[in-house]
Every structure is written in C-alpha cells, then in structure tokens.
Structure 1
C-alpha cells in the first residue's frame, strides 16, 4: 500500500523521484525502492513524507483511507461531541460569561474529580 500511495501522491504533486529523493536527502534509487515496494522508509523518513504530502502516516501505510485523518481532527471531533452534549452544553455556553472566581472553582472541582479516578 505504501508504494502505491507514495507514487500517487508524488504524481499528484507533479514531483519527480529525484525531487523527492532530494527532499529526503537520499538517492533517487533509494526513493524508487519505496515506490517499487523493494524497501521501506524508516520512521523519520515516513514522517517527512507524511508532512510533505500533508497526510497521516496511517494513510501512507494503508491503515486508513482518509488521508487527512489526524489526531487534531479526532480531538476536534471529540470536542464537538462534548460541546453538543445537551447535559454539558449549558456549562459550555455559560463558562465564557462566568467570572474568574467561578472558573477557578470549576477548575478546582475538575482537579478533584480527576484525582479521585486515580
């Protein structure tokens, strides 16, 4: 899967194998091995490729078909689920209007709850 996705992403970006190799600091032949499924990049190189193509390493490795699936998106989705919870929505909406003392108390209560779980 990695070889297929690397080649597809590279051609979409209109980059040559040499340009990709230069970006990674390797030879063209070294990069070509990735696209021909004759070798695999180390973790650092895989991260550079994901960053360059703006996709996740999971996408490159075939673990997901969503190229933009990132931790940030998961965190955003978790936050939206929290913000849309009818029971919690009242707290979320009222918090910005609360005075500093109320926010401080809420933080203290939350710390007590977190510590009780441990």
Structure 2
C-alpha cells in the first residue's frame, strides 16, 4: 500500500472529508488530494503532522510497518471526567460543549482533551488576570 493510500485510509477511518482534514491540517484540499494520489510526497514536517493528526506513526504511513497504532508517548495528565462533567453542566460553560452528551465517544475524547488543555493553561490564573497571562 502506498503512502497516499495509507493517508486516504486513515482519513476515511476517522470519517473526515478531504476538505475537513485539509482545513484541520492547515493545507489546501488540492494539496491533500495530491498527497493521497501520490502525485506529491510530504516533507518530514508534514509527514509528522499527518501521523499525529491520524493517530498513527510515520513508519506506518511510509509502509515500514503494518502496525497503525501510535507510538507510546509521554503520559498525558489523567483527565478527571467527573470534574469535566461538573464543568460542562454549568450553564456558563455548557454551551461551549453543548454537543458533548450526544457526541460519539471519539468526539467526546477530543472535547475532554481540549478542556484539559484549557484547564492547564488557566492553572494559577487569578481573578482579574487577562486570559493567557
């Protein structure tokens, strides 16, 4: 299987259109189409972005292994799901995550990771501090 075929297979596995994947990767859909059709080869940085985005390894995308599972990386802080559920139940916050309760499990996990990112960025922030300071 070629690199382009593997890119397309991973995109379809995550039920992404070329337009959606290209936008989220920060490239044009024409560029993504060229990668998927093997008309162009991604540079090492782009290959790494594909691997991260499609939750796999560069070795899998390059055909060096048939194992598509991502490499073990640093352990992310464990999410306190109960705390997250309390957070989104607050009407002031819940609208941001309004689709959480009805979302598929994969989307829920993305939302929880995003919340963890926000929580980490805001840790130690005092009332009156500007956001991001």
TM-score by length of 1: 0.57
Please name the residue that 2:20 is paired with: 19
Q: Which runs of 4+ in 1 moved over 6 A?
A: none
TM-score by length of 2: 0.50
Shift of 1:8: 0.7
Please name the residue that 2:44 is paired with: 43
More helix by share: 1
Please name the residue that 1:101 is paired with: none
Shift of 1:69: 6.0
Root mean square deviation of aligned Cα: 1.5
Shift of 1:44: 1.1
2:25 and 2:53 in contact (8 A); partners too: no
**5+ long unaligned stretches in structure 2:** 74-133
Aligned residues: 72
**5+ long unaligned stretches in structure 1:** 74-118
Shift of 1:21: 1.1
